[in-house]
């Protein structure tokens, strides 16, 4: 199977998250990934884009988020690029659910979900561009 790449650009608004999930679902199904992997990819990409909107772009709704699906013989990767404030992966700690509930503060679960659902989560910075790559390997 030759490598294939499919691209989508959305404005940094949560109203487009459903479009992102559909985009990932279509290409993951075309790549014949198992149903559970399709669902996990949709969710991990949704979380990554929601984090870009909330944290990288601080809620500004008119900034670009570039999404690319990269299909390789042994893996399915979704690359998310933005030009907002970068995420420091070293700051990530596995959340304590009871502590989050006690703090009465929604949030803090998205990165955890990405790590739990994906085989590989990578962060890179290329000049002003932040890049997050979410990968599922074919079993």
Binding residues for another protein, rule: CB under 8 A, are: 13-15, 17-18, 21, 36, 39, 42-43, 46-47, 50, 53-54, 97-98, 100-102, 104-110, 112-113, 116-117
- Return phi, psi of residue 112, to 5°: -60, -45
| Shortest distance, position 84 Cβ to another protein, whole Å | 16
Does residue 66 contact residue 11 with C-beta atoms inside 8 Å? Answer: no
Compute the distance between CA of residue 101 and CA of residue 29 in angstroms, rounded to an integer: 36
When the beta carbons of 50 and 72 are compared against another protein, the nearer one is: 50
When the beta carbons of 27 and 42 are compared against another protein, the nearer one is: 42
| Shortest distance, position 123 Cβ to another protein, whole Å | 18
Which two three-digit tokens encode residue 22? 């559909």
| Shortest distance, position 111 Cβ to another protein, whole Å | 9
Compute the distance between CA of residue 70 and CA of residue 83 in angstroms, rounded to an integer: 20
When the beta carbons of 78 and 117 are compared against another protein, the nearer one is: 117
DSSP output for 9-58 = EEES-GGGHHHHHHHHHHHHHHTT--HHHHHHHHHHHHHHHHHIIIIIST
| Shortest distance, position 110 Cβ to another protein, whole Å | 4
When the beta carbons of 102 and 139 are compared against another protein, the nearer one is: 102
């Amino acid at each position: 199977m030759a490598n294939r790449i499919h691209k989508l650009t959305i404005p940094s608004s949560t109203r487009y998250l459903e479009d992102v999930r559909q985009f990932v679902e279509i290409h993951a199904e075309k790549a014949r990934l198992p149903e559970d992997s399709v669902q996990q990819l949709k969710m991990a990409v949704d979380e990554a884009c929601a984090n870009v909107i909330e944290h990288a772009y601080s809620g500004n709704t008119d900034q670009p988020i570039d999404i690319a699906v990269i299909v390789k013989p042994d893996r399915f990767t979704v690359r998310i690029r933005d030009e907002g404030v970068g995420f420091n992966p070293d700051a990530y700690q596995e959340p304590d659910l009871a502590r989050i509930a006690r703090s009465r503060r929604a949030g803090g679960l998205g990165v955890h979900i990405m790590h739990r659902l994906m085989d590989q989560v990578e962060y890179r910075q290329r000049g002003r561009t932040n890049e997050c790559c979410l990968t599922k390997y074919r079993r």
